[in-house]
Amino acid sequence: MILLYHDIPDHQRTAFARQMDIVCRTATPVADPTAATAGMHRREVMVTFDDGFASFATNALPEMEKRGIVPTLFVVSGKLGCRADWACNFRDELPKENLLTAEQLRELSSKVIFASQTITHPMLTEIPADDVRREVEGSRRELESLLGCPINWICVPYGAFNAHVIECCMAAGYEHLFSTLPDLVVKSDFVIGRVDAEPWDWDLEFRLKVAGCYRWLPWAFRLKRMITGLVDGSGTSAAQKANSIISAEAVKR
């Protein structure tokens, strides 16, 4: 299981620490996505952070260090030290903190696995093909030059990707692309899903996430989309499609 966090505000540090205690008590923290996604019978958890907010260094990392957890930090290479202006797309208000600076990132190099989150945090599925290549290739090049370490993973802003994005990431030399869905509709060794976590999650909710109980969400999303449409062009009703999905998932289990 791979957890996805963003910022950890000062007033949520204690709650985050409690979640890391739950991870250590109920699972084994790992820094390898292959181990973390090995299967439902294994309780191995990888902790990742997107964007690179300053509170990662001040609030999150100290709590993980105490517990021997090595996190992965996805960095937006062209926005170091800036405000995360893209956060207004999914939050009522912007976080009151800036992103980590280049100097701050270098200071974390022995404690963190760094990865890419493009140069400017665009919606990769909505920009020209050449810009996609520039974002994924340039970010890796900039971060490797800045940090002096290999950048082998990338996560896509807003979880948006398509075949072209995957192709560009592979061509850029990345080993894995991380998404924001708990699991994938189409299984892939290259694309890896994650579970969104917040420090204010209820303890029970967080325990269920760590246990892998949120992996059913992708096919539930598909089911919801079908139910909202009455009949498709072939005359098949949403209910019929829903039953087909449920039956298929039941067979897998």
Say if residue 198 is in the same domain as residue 248.
no
Say if residue 150 is in the same domain as residue 227.
no
For the chain, the domain total comes to 2
**End-to-end alpha carbon distance in the chain:** 18
Contact by Cβ (8 Å): 54, 100: yes
Say if residue 17 is in the same domain as residue 93.
yes
| pLDDT tens readout for residues 30-59 | 998 887 776 555 689 999 999 999 999 999
pLDDT score, position 34: 82
Domain limits for position 172? 2-214
Mean pLDDT of the chain: 84
Say if residue 133 is in the same domain as residue 117.
yes
Say if residue 88 is in the same domain as residue 49.
yes
pLDDT confidence bin for 245, thresholds 50/70/90: very low
**For the ranges 95-104, 202-211, 228-237, which has the lowest average pLDDT?**
228-237
pLDDT score, position 167: 95
The rounded distance, in Å, linking the Cα atoms of 227 and 208 is: 26
Say if residue 231 is in the same domain as residue 197.
no
Say if residue 95 is in the same domain as residue 209.
yes
Query: What predicted TM-score, i.e. pTM, was given to this entire model?
Result: 0.82
pLDDT confidence bin for 226, thresholds 50/70/90: very low
Max mean pLDDT range (20-29, 185-194, 205-214): 20-29
pLDDT confidence bin for 150, thresholds 50/70/90: very high
Question: For residues 233-246, b (16+ Cβ closer than 10 Å) or e, as one string?
Answer: eeeeebeebeeeee
Say if residue 245 is in the same domain as residue 173.
no
Say if residue 200 is in the same domain as residue 226.
no
Say if residue 135 is in the same domain as residue 240.
no
| pLDDT tens readout for residues 54-105 | 999 999 999 999 999 999 999 999 999 998 887 655 555 556 789 999 999 9
pLDDT confidence bin for 238, thresholds 50/70/90: very low
> Using a CB cutoff of 8 Å and minimum separation of 24, what contacts does 137-146 make?
137/168, 137/171, 137/172, 138/77, 138/78, 139/75, 139/76, 139/77, 139/78, 140/116, 140/172, 140/173, 140/174, 142/77, 142/78, 143/75, 143/77, 143/114, 143/116, 146/77, 146/102, 146/105, 146/106
Contact by Cβ (8 Å): 99, 120: no
**For the ranges 19-33, 56-70, 108-122, 233-247, which has the lowest average pLDDT?**
233-247
